[in-house]
Amino acid sequence: MKDKATVTIRDVAQHAGVSTATVSRVLSNSGPVSAEVRERVEHTIRALGYRPNRMARSFRAQRSKFIGLIISDVENPFYTSLVRAVEDVAYAHDYSLLLCNSDEDLEKERTYIQFMADERVAGVIGSPASEQETSFAALFDAGIPVVSVDRRSALTPVDTVLLDNVAAARDLTRHLIHHGHRRIGAILPNLSITSGRERLAGFLQAMEEAGLAPDPALIHEGKGIEAFGAHAARALLHLPERPTAIFTGNNLITLGALKAIQECGLRIPDDVAVAGHDEMPWMSLLAPGITVAAQPIHEMGRTAMRMLLARINGDSQPMCEVKLAPRLIIRNSVASPTPI
């Protein structure tokens, strides 16, 4: 039997026959846990003498001046802006950042999460590579507070800051439908992440409202990078009956789609309309400018860092989710479809 001081959340999970996420939910009194499972976990906690490492958390809050920031794609300008916003607030409170890039790779992400736990950082802000598979349990076990930004983590209950993705996608799709588009292609980031799944939901809601049945051949999902955006757009544009409009799920996908449209010798919006997510400076400089659902990126980063500071300073309120509203920026990339 381990010494009580060395019993971890993993030991409790193993003895109770549940996941560490379930133990976390019991400890934080959040998330769905059946009465039978809760009783078994609580019995195991008592039997093993497990105590959450609050002393270690207090020690770190006093001594560590590093904040871990794990983002999914350092080359995406969205995350560059997010990092800047987090750093502004952290620096104002005498904290420095340790920046890690997961590349949407779960194994790489797990390595960085463990690194942050081993380094005893004061807190971590993370953008999960997978809503269903990313686990912050190693940090939770070490008593390190976590805030999830841009995406949710279903396995571990943590504070979360994200965009109202459903509303953003619904607004964009309604805008396309308002201009007469009925055959709309959608290129989305992976549905295993919050933004991909919710943006698909918003797209489908708007289509259903308009009485339109989405064609599965017009919906593509994959890695949210430029190469995938270009590949999916080419596939859509080479269909026997191509879409009159393309809805894109993030800024890099939009960039790839624009390149594919240009390669195909088509004009925006005369031959195909484009509307996408994430405002980037270059979108207003194009001819035509691109219609987008803009995320309040700086507000998202600042909010996440302030929430983390509150946890570091001992805030014990229940976990919460902050959902920020999108802003539709209408430019000239959408017009009524031209008859073919």
- DSSP secondary structure string, 119-152? HT-SEEEE--S-TTT---HHHHHTT--EEEESS-
| Residue 70 confidence (pLDDT) | 97
Which amino acid is present at 263?
E
pLDDT digits (tens), the chain, 340 positions:
455 556 888 888 889 998 877 887 777 665 677 888 888 988 898 888 887 654 444 444 455 899 999 999 888 999 999 999 999 999 999 999 999 999 999 999 999 999 998 888 999 999 999 988 999 988 988 889 999 999 998 888 899 999 999 999 999 999 999 999 999 999 999 998 999 999 999 999 999 999 999 999 999 999 999 999 999 999 999 999 999 999 999 999 999 999 999 999 999 999 999 999 999 888 888 889 999 999 999 999 999 999 999 999 988 888 899 999 999 999 999 998 865 5
User: Is the overall model pTM greater than 0.85, yes or no?
Assistant: no
Which domains are delineated in the chain? 4-48 (1.10.260.40), 54-163+297-325 (3.40.50.2300), 165-295 (3.40.50.2300)
- Beta-ladder partners of 222: 189
Helix axes 226-237, 251-263, angle to 10 degrees: 40
Buried b (16+ CB within 10 A) or exposed e, 137-149: bbbbbbbbbbbbb
Under 8 Å between Cβ of 115 and 99 = no
